[in-house]
């Protein structure tokens, strides 16, 4: 029977990492997967994480099961981080949070809830979006519809097109929004555009699902949450999928959460119960270690301050790398305007490189980027910057 299973092609992102690992060129450069790399090309364990792990080891707690939805301390810490203390403590805002193994499971759970509990038929997402978004929601049984996102240059937002294509959305459909640091483009709406987008979502009766995988990579943990907080503060319901892969560097520990904001306490209790049912029937309860780390850091004033400072350093370094990258490219290609790279935010840049250029970079220079032209800015460092810019210039 199994010979009838169709062969699925390698994943667009993880398949590329495999290829990169096999490349024997000592000067190979990995700009593919969204993983932060420091100046030495390593993905470091943050100090706050290391200190929390030492505390956990010393206290020799337990490896028993977590509750289905994770520990109360962790869940509240997520609620506060996303919504801010004012909304979280506001009696009129009814939210529930469950721990999930990373942002991916959180997204999948929201797809399952939308489909199974509310029979939502379709979800709108930006074109382009993270390749896995499409697969996650399609696998959950939703039709995926795309709204235009970029302008004609393909490197900045085409907001008129966003609004125009969403005119076709109908009440009861869902919409997926990247709360900050859009993946794959790095192109975010302005605050005013966010307001218009949220007004349209309310006017059309769409159900928003915010993917919040890069909190702290845009401007600050609070500023980056503004699109969500403004929407919730205006009294609307939303699902928020967050991840600690990037902002805690806890990629392989699989730590995240799903938060639902409802209009009434009863609705919130029902949503919470549905999320728990979905978790119990899929993986029973979440993994322990990563959530203990996050819980320890977020609930300890010193560790939290250290974490925020480290996260700021990461953000500032990426911004500096963008500036240096743009100036080195401009030196080599004075006729080209690369400033859009400075305007994009977070780890990624829709670099403007064509598929042919990306292919040439890989074949001739062992430089790995996604076929869409997405590059991970955090894969650049002062040792590979010159080599990278020379190689890119040779493809023009």
What is the contact surface with ligand LMR in residues (CB under 6 A)? 13, 33-34, 130, 132, 183
Radius of gyration (C-alpha) of the chain in whole angstroms: 21
Provide, rounded to whole angstroms, the least separation between the CB of residue 30 and ligand LMR: 11
Residue placing its CB nearer to ligand LMR in the complex, 34 or 286 = 34
Phi, psi of 95 (to 5 degrees): -125, 150
* Comparison of 173 and 224: residue with beta carbon closer to ligand LMR: 224
Tell me how far apart the alpha carbons of residues 315 and 134 are, in angstroms, rounded to a whole number: 28
Spatial neighbors of 324 by CB under 8 A, at least 6 apart, are: 385
Give 13 or 277: the residue with its C-beta nearer to ligand LMR. 13
The verdict on whether 130 is a catalytic residue reads: yes
Q: Nearest distance from residue 253's CB to ligand LMR, in Å?
A: 14
Mapped onto helix, strand or coil, the DSSP state of residue 254 is coil
Closest distance between ligand LMR and the C-beta of residue 300, in Å?
28
Distance between first and last Cα of the chain: 50
CB of 203 to ligand LMR, least distance (A): 31
Q: Which is nearer to ligand LMR, 95 or 104 (CB)?
A: 104
Q: Which is nearer to ligand LMR, 231 or 251 (CB)?
A: 251
* From 69, 124, 130, 307, the catalytic residue: 130
Q: Please give the residue whose beta carbon sits closest to ligand LMR in the complex.
A: 34
Please tell me the distance from the alpha carbon of residue 174 to that of residue 165, in angstroms, as a whole number: 14
CB–CB of 175/209 below 8 Å? yes
In angstroms, rounded to a whole number, what is the distance separating the alpha carbons of residues 386 and 123?
A: 42
In the structure encoding, which two tokens stand for residue 249, read together? 């560097």
Does residue 132 sit in helix, strand or coil? helix
Q: Give the SS3 label for residue 184.
A: coil
Residue 133 vs 272, nearer CB to ligand LMR? 133
Instruction: Yes or no: say if 162 and 147 are a contact pair by the CB < 8 Å rule.
Output: yes
Compute the C-alpha angle 51/52/54, nearest 5°: 65
- Asked whether 202 and 171 are in contact (CB, 8 A), the reply is no
Q: Give the three-class secondary structure for 26.
A: coil
Q: How far is the CB of 187 from ligand LMR (least distance, A)?
A: 15
Residue 220 CA, chain-centre distance (Å), reads 15
User: Whole-number minimum distance, CB 65 to ligand LMR, in Å?
Assistant: 26
Catalytic residues: 130, 211, 246
């Amino acid at each position: 029977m199994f010979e009838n299973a169709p062969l699925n092609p390698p994943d667009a992102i993880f398949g590329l990492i495999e290829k990169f690992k096999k490349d024997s060129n000592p000067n190979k450069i990995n700009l593919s997967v969204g993983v932060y790399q420091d100046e030495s090309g390593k993905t470091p364990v943050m100090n706050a994480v290391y200190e929390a792990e030492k505390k956990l080891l010393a206290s020799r707690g337990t490896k028993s099961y977590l509750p289905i939805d994770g520990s109360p301390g962790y869940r509240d810490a997520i609620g506060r981080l996303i919504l801010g203390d004012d909304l979280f403590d506001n009696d009129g805002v009814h939210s529930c949070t469950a721990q999930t193994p990373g942002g991916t499971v959180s997204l999948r759970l929201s797809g399952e809830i939308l489909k199974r509990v509310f029979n939502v038929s379709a979800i709108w997402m930006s074109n382009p979006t993270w390749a896995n978004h499409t697969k996650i929601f399609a696998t959950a049984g939703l039709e995926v519809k795309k709204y235009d996102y970029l302008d004609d240059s393909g490197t900045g937002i085409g907001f008129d097109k966003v609004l125009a294509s969403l005119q076709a959305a109908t009440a009861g459909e869902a919409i997926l929004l990247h709360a900050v640091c859009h993946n794959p483009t790095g192109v975010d709406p302005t605050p005013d555009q966010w307001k218009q987008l949220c007004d349209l979502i309310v006017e059309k009766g769409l159900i928003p699902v915010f993917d919040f995988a890069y909190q702290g990579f845009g401007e600050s943990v609070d500023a980056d949450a503004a699109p969500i907080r403004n929407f919730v503060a205006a009294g609307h319901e939303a699902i928020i999928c967050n991840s600690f892969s990037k902002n805690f560097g806890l990629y392989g520990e699989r730590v995240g959460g799903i938060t639902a904001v409802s209009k009434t306490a009863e609705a919130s209790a029902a949503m919470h119960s549905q999320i728990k049912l979905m978790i119990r029937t899929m993986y029973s309860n979440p993994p322990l270690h990563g959530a203990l780390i996050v819980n320890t850091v977020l609930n300890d004033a010193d560790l939290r301050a250290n974490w925020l400072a480290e996260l700021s350093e990461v953000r500032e370094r990426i911004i500096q790398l963008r500036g240096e990258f743009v100036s080195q490219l401009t030196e080599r290609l004075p006729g080209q305007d690369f400033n859009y790279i400075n305007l994009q935010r977070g780890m990624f840049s829709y670099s403007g490189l064509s598929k042919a250029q990306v292919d040439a970079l890989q074949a001739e220079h062992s430089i790995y980027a996604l076929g869409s032209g997405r590059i991970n800015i955090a894969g650049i460092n002062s040792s590979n910057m010159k080599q990278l810019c020379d190689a890119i210039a040779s493809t023009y």
